[in-house]
Structure 1
Amino acid sequence: MKLLAYASIKLTLLLILGILIGYTFQIPIKYCFGFLLCCFAILGYFFIRKADKTLKFKLVAGITVIFIGMFSFLQSQSIQYDHYFKKVQKTEFPLLQVKITDVLKPNAFSQNYVAEVLMADGKKTIGKILINQSTDSIHNTFQVDDELFIKSKISPINPPLNPHQFNFKEYMGHLGVHHSLKLSLENFTVLPNPSKTLIGYAQQVRSNIIKKLENEDFGREQLSIIRALLLGERTTISEDTYSNYVDAGAVHILAVSGLHVGILLMLIQFVLRPLNRLPYGKKIVLFLTLILLWAFAFIAGLSPSIIRACAMFTFVAYAMYMNRPSNSFNILALSMFFILLVINPNLLFQVGFQMSYAAVFAIVWIYPLLQKWWFPKNRIIRYLWQLLSVSIAAQLGVLPISLFYFHQFPGLFFISNLLIVPFLGLILGMGMIIIVLSLVEKSSSSLIWMYNEVIGLMNKIVSWVANQETFLFKSISFDEMQLTLGYLVIGSLVFAFSKTNYRRIMLFLGFLLMFQTYTIYKEFEAGSKSETIILHQVKNSVLFDKNGNMLKVLTVDSTRLKRLVDNYIVQERIDQTRYLPVKNSYLIYDKSLQIIDSAGVYLPTNTNTIFLLTKSPKINRNVLFKKLILKKLLRMAATTLVLSQTGNKLVYNIKSHFIIQVKWDFTD
């Protein structure tokens, strides 16, 4: 199938290109708007001259769509406007009026919220802010649409302090949030009777449903899965249970997205099928289908993922009404174009959006080829093969993205999908019935017991698959270039599989060779690299000494380092790891590093000594300052430093972590 034969696919690709250009180069919006107006004027000229079918018109139309993508992205970035709240504030501690728009998942230290800043120091503003409420100061939590007056210092969201950590600053930036503030017991006031939004009403309905479900006789783990499965509420799932779903390749079941909405669409179409016999029956079915789809989105809280999925399947439902199911790529492209242009262009940079469309695109492309390759005559075998084909196609579609973001691959994904996905429609249907019965207070204890057992059985299946660690491939190093080459390899393989000939096979082998060559080069590069890092961690001393593929971790407390070490091992392609205790001194060529702990003991020094203070030692700092070669006082887990070797000189620079591009003498 020639995908570029569809105009919608061309337009969507050009729109994505424009968004990427706007993201990369950050062109001033006024210039982008000016170029866009010029493009529209040229298109109007061609149209008046009836030259709208010429190559020049098509070229200008393509450029126009690119500028539309750029403008769409730039206008969604509130930080660039003059009335952005940070630019409006008059004092260091401005008085802000904010409206809660999202409640984030809590952690061990805090509860976070995303809020829209309505006013700053008495002036109307725009922009979103991250509100951090520490667990020590939580006397009451907030809901969507709550409004507060807050007097607090505004700080930018910081980048990660250690190498290869999750970049929370970048993640929040893609959500349009660049600054944060902290709540205390004294610096805020809750406004009575705040105005309500549609999302606020949806969240309130979902909260009422959750309260009704909590009154039923569900197990704790079962209830947390039910809340995720039906309502998109994953905050109560235990870490062990969530890890099991990830390791089993079934985590998509917990995210209310395309899979759930697609199954729900099929259920609705099945139930409403008799209405097709009525006059205007197809229109009635379409109308009711869309109402029920968006009603489900409403009770699921109108989260971005569910809005995205419902928007996509709205186009699918319309295509089914028009009886044009063969144009699946066209439908996908139209839905993506609509979502990125109308809803939010920032969705392009979110993992959920990328994986959803990659999976659906792969299913639409690869599934028919697998069915054409083998079509069993036995109905049971055919049904199982269809399920397996869908699972294989979806996994191929998301494989490079999954390896890039999560660095693991569940080898038994097909088992969990074969055992759960066929019954997911029944599970969703039963769940919807239970929700309705709970709301009207007519719930059945036998139905509750049955549903509780079904969810419990699903958890046991997932747990069993996840515990087959032999088939779970973790810590897979995968960077941006491998992501690109990976999709080229998969695409060329499917291309050759659809119609085998010499040119297509050679194309696949060429991309495979490029992927292998690049991977070997990265392994060689990692093996020849040496560096030493002093990491940032509160109440702990941590040093990484990397020598090729060997990593030595020097630390006081190794129990808190799993995530830091795992991330570094994956990104730096480490083969061996050793844990060693931190000593008081180390040698860096002709220079020495002395670590001064709470004992405050250090050796006589010369000009080739660097000091590192940890555990708040009680020493005379004025005396010590005079002995410091760099005239900088470092605090472990507070301030960090970068050192690199340039010729015979040791060059330093304060940065987010401490890297020494020279060989240290770390002896046992």
Structure 2
Amino acid sequence: MKRINTPILVILLALIVGIICYDAYRVSLFWIAAILLLAIALLFLIHRLAFKRPLNAIAFTAGISIVFITIGYATSERANALNNETHFTHTNTNNPSTFLFSIDEVLKPTIYQEKYVVTLKTINKEATSGKVILNVNRDGISHRLRVGEWYYTRALLLPVPKSKNPYQFDYGSYLKRKQIHGQLSINKDELLISQHTSSGLRVWSSRFRESVLKAIHAHSFSRNQLAVIDALVLGQKNGIDKQMSTNYASAGMMHILAVSGLHVGIMLLLLRFITKPIADYKLRWLRSIIIIVMIWAFAFITGLSPSVLRAATMFSFLEVGQQLGGKRKTTDAVMASAVLLLIYNPFLIHQVGFQLSYLAVIGILWIQPWLSSFYTPRYYIDRLIWGIATVSVAAQLGVLPLSLFYFHQFPGLFFLSNVIIIPFLGIILGGGILVALLAVLNILPDALATTYGYAIDLMNGFIFWVASKEAFITNHITISFAFLIGLYLCIIFSISLFKKYNNPRLVAASLSMVLLTSIIIYEKSNPPATHLTIFNKSKSTMIGTFHNSTLKIHSTDSLHTIIQDSRVRNYKDGLRIDEVAVECMQNYFRFKRKEILVVDSLGIYQLANANPDYILLTQSPKININRLTERFPKAQIIADASNYKSYITRWKTTCLNKKIPFHSTYEKGAYIIE
């Protein structure tokens, strides 16, 4: 990746800084406009003096940076849906209201609910805007709602869910990053279809996918085969069950089941192969136009998900860059595509998929040529295997720190999985497109369907075999943000040194290693503080104490249930926990000079010499809260989610009247005592 286009790099980095600044601090539009005008005036002045002072290049770079930092900030302000005057957050929705909305996206359902992303049109007949999640209780009979349909319903608009346990994935923040700020929960019989319907490419794409899915499902594919075909060809992951998802993730091949950069990249290679007859100089631009049109057609058919959108944009720029000037222009095209996408939607920078996609491509462009230089294959087969191997390692080095930071897992056999699967993925993807096309035309031969299903079974079988080698899967890897930055700096400067040895690169690599070592030493010498956590868990009670890298769980659940509990797994991911011990639930705890009384369904609290600082009410005890608080007037009351909501409401009211501190884990999340 030689001779990077510095202006594009500066613009990209400045744009990212502006978007991050918007999250950290908000200013008025007046100051944004003022800074932008001043920066433009500075650039004009520097341009006039460009040939008189040698420092003007640095000043011009600083001016460009200020301009695009401001543009990044301004685009974030523009893209923030909450700034729209008609957004539903500016309307009083504390009481049940009548909503008119359109279905925008069908999400993967849960056991009990179907889920959709919808856009609000009116609230109580008043025009409004904004996206919310629609949760529809499943009845097992009615058909699913379709993209583009409009419905009426009357319900209470609720806020997005909050994380209620430590180190849990914050689904509410994730939704807000996608400009979704509320949710509706209803039964299907509470929906009334409207005569209005949406139109456009997204609706057409959804209808086309529905017809393809119906045609494919009419043939004798097994459930697992259909799940992979739907995900691989059409980007529909609703049929992927938890076990299959876990197996693909453990094998380091989860990217196969999500139509993303890998699939669009394979489509690009297939299209280049098909259009090779018109690859001469005079027709090369016609070839590129055909390739780009087909890439975007594939993107629309698969639903224009964010991953496909950024991949189609990136590879369109890559194709143009290839025609303009080879590898150097390819690098410039990647950066230019990122600039375009961030100006279109600045909040993409917060999406993990966006970060991983670009880091993987950067790793391939920068590291793969260097790795491939270590060996020159003589034959086609070893050239193919060596190319896939170097690309896989380069991409993995690009995303490894970020993957550890987000997913806390490293699949040790990712190399084997990629080398075996990727060469055949083009055939499988191309075969899937052919099968889908023939199925729609109702001319799919049974022999071809059987053969293709067998190929899918072979791929699934290999993935499941790799996933079963648990000794090669490293879980619960926890790294901090500081360690993430230090690790990236160490990788970048070390590879730079290996590619070309000189004193400045040696100094940079050494300093990065010193920095990473210092971060490790600091974090080892400052471990997380000892604490006790009363978890938010429905139908049962769970208390955990953390001390010296050991988590001790007290619960009435079985050992297997506790070990598999997502709250425990999140704790192991969030902290450097070496051991999880499980003990039976007690009625009285002593923790750091604090005493905790647990009152369960038996309602026993008259303990001799008890003087609790906290009282945990669990399993809906039938007690007189007034008598309890009179006996222990200084104790704080805590109610977990195993209690009936009506009991919690009654206890809360009594405590508020008596000015006694009250904490409901159902409302406020887990309670932590340090």
The TM-score normalised by the length of structure 1 is: 0.91
State how far apart, in whole Å, the 1-side matches of 2:524 and 2:287 are: 57
* Matched position secondary structure for 2:533: strand
Given the superposition, is the C-alpha separation of residues 137 and 125 from structure 1 closer, same or farther in structure 2, using an over 3 Å criterion?
farther
Deviation at 1:143, TM superposition (A): 1.9
- Once the two structures are superposed, the pairs formed by residues 239-318 of structure 1 within 5 Å of their partners are 239-276=242-279, 280-318=282-320
Residue type at the aligned position of 1:367? Q
Task: Give yes or no for the alignment of 1:659 onto 2:672.
Answer: yes
Deviation at 1:546, TM superposition (A): 1.1
Where does residue 210 of structure 1 map in the other structure? 213
Q: Is the 8 A contact 1:46 1:52 kept in 2?
A: no
**Which segment is superposed worse, 224-233 or 610-619?**
610-619
Where does residue 448 of structure 2 map in the other structure? 447
Residue type at the aligned position of 1:521? Y
State how far apart, in whole Å, the 2-side matches of 1:524 and 1:550 are: 16
Listed one character per residue, the Cα deviations across residues 64-92 of structure 1 (whole Å, up to 9, x for unaligned) are: 11111111112111113332112134762
State how far apart, in whole Å, the 2-side matches of 1:241 and 1:132 are: 25
Residue type at the aligned position of 2:297? A
Deviation at 1:51, TM superposition (A): 8.5
Where does residue 652 of structure 2 map in the other structure? none
State how far apart, in whole Å, the 1-side matches of 2:52 and 2:554 are: 68
Given the superposition, is the C-alpha separation of residues 309 and 630 from structure 1 closer, same or farther in structure 2, using an over 3 Å criterion?
farther
**Which segment is superposed worse, 32-41 or 536-545?**
32-41
Q: Is the 8 A contact 1:9 1:329 kept in 2?
A: no
Given the superposition, is the C-alpha separation of residues 498 and 29 from structure 1 closer, same or farther in structure 2, using an over 3 Å criterion?
same
* Matched position secondary structure for 1:191: strand
* Matched position secondary structure for 2:406: helix
Given the superposition, is the C-alpha separation of residues 631 and 93 from structure 1 closer, same or farther in structure 2, using an over 3 Å criterion?
farther
Where does residue 625 of structure 1 map in the other structure? 629
Residue type at the aligned position of 1:613? L
Q: Is the 8 A contact 1:607 1:629 kept in 2?
A: no
Task: Give yes or no for the alignment of 1:169 onto 2:167.
Answer: no
Deviation at 1:556, TM superposition (A): 1.3
Deviation at 1:439, TM superposition (A): 1.5
Q: Is the 8 A contact 2:11 2:64 kept in 1?
A: no
Where does residue 122 of structure 1 map in the other structure? 125
- Once the two structures are superposed, the pairs formed by residues 92-131 of structure 1 within 5 Å of their partners are 92-131=95-134
Q: How many residues align?
A: 650
Where does residue 658 of structure 2 map in the other structure? none
State how far apart, in whole Å, the 2-side matches of 1:445 and 1:52 are: 77
Where does residue 555 of structure 2 map in the other structure? 555
Where does residue 428 of structure 1 map in the other structure? 429
- Once the two structures are superposed, the pairs formed by residues 160-199 of structure 1 within 5 Å of their partners are 160-185=163-188, 187-199=190-202
Listed one character per residue, the Cα deviations across residues 335-358 of structure 1 (whole Å, up to 9, x for unaligned) are: 11111112x111111111111111
Percent same amino acid at aligned positions? 31
Deviation at 1:280, TM superposition (A): 4.8
Deviation at 1:3, TM superposition (A): 5.7
Deviation at 1:41, TM superposition (A): 5.4
Deviation at 1:323, TM superposition (A): 4.4
Residue type at the aligned position of 2:617? L
Listed one character per residue, the Cα deviations across residues 345-390 of structure 1 (whole Å, up to 9, x for unaligned) are: 1111111111111101100000001122332445433332221101
Given the superposition, is the C-alpha separation of residues 146 and 519 from structure 1 closer, same or farther in structure 2, using an over 3 Å criterion?
farther
Where does residue 546 of structure 1 map in the other structure? 546
Task: Give yes or no for the alignment of 1:634 onto 2:638.
Answer: yes
* Matched position secondary structure for 2:478: coil
Q: Is the 8 A contact 2:148 2:199 kept in 1?
A: yes
The TM-score normalised by the length of structure 2 is: 0.90
Where does residue 646 of structure 1 map in the other structure? none
Deviation at 1:399, TM superposition (A): 0.3
Task: Give yes or no for the alignment of 1:491 onto 2:471.
Answer: no
Given the superposition, is the C-alpha separation of residues 310 and 590 from structure 1 closer, same or farther in structure 2, using an over 3 Å criterion?
closer
State how far apart, in whole Å, the 2-side matches of 1:533 and 1:291 are: 55
2:604 to 580, 598, 601: 601
Task: Give yes or no for the alignment of 1:226 onto 2:239.
Answer: no
* Structure 2 residue ranges without an equivalent (≥5): 650-660
Where does residue 343 of structure 2 map in the other structure? 341
Given the superposition, is the C-alpha separation of residues 578 and 231 from structure 1 closer, same or farther in structure 2, using an over 3 Å criterion?
same
State how far apart, in whole Å, the 2-side matches of 1:28 and 1:140 are: 47
Given the superposition, is the C-alpha separation of residues 149 and 543 from structure 1 closer, same or farther in structure 2, using an over 3 Å criterion?
same
Deviation at 1:503, TM superposition (A): 4.2
Deviation at 1:501, TM superposition (A): 3.4
Query: Once superposed, what is the RMSD of the aligned Cα atoms?
Result: 2.7
* Matched position secondary structure for 2:328: coil
2:148 to 142, 145, 149: 145
* Matched position secondary structure for 1:423: helix
Residue type at the aligned position of 1:131? L
Where does residue 413 of structure 1 map in the other structure? 414
**Which segment is superposed worse, 104-113 or 136-145?**
136-145
State how far apart, in whole Å, the 1-side matches of 2:591 and 2:327 are: 67
State how far apart, in whole Å, the 2-side matches of 1:185 and 1:432 are: 35
Where does residue 509 of structure 2 map in the other structure? 508
Given the superposition, is the C-alpha separation of residues 147 and 402 from structure 1 closer, same or farther in structure 2, using an over 3 Å criterion?
same
Given the superposition, is the C-alpha separation of residues 139 and 511 from structure 1 closer, same or farther in structure 2, using an over 3 Å criterion?
same
State how far apart, in whole Å, the 1-side matches of 2:140 and 2:266 are: 43
Residue type at the aligned position of 1:539? K
State how far apart, in whole Å, the 1-side matches of 2:360 and 2:83 are: 34
- Once the two structures are superposed, the pairs formed by residues 32-47 of structure 1 within 5 Å of their partners are 32-40=32-40, 43=43
Given the superposition, is the C-alpha separation of residues 150 and 446 from structure 1 closer, same or farther in structure 2, using an over 3 Å criterion?
same
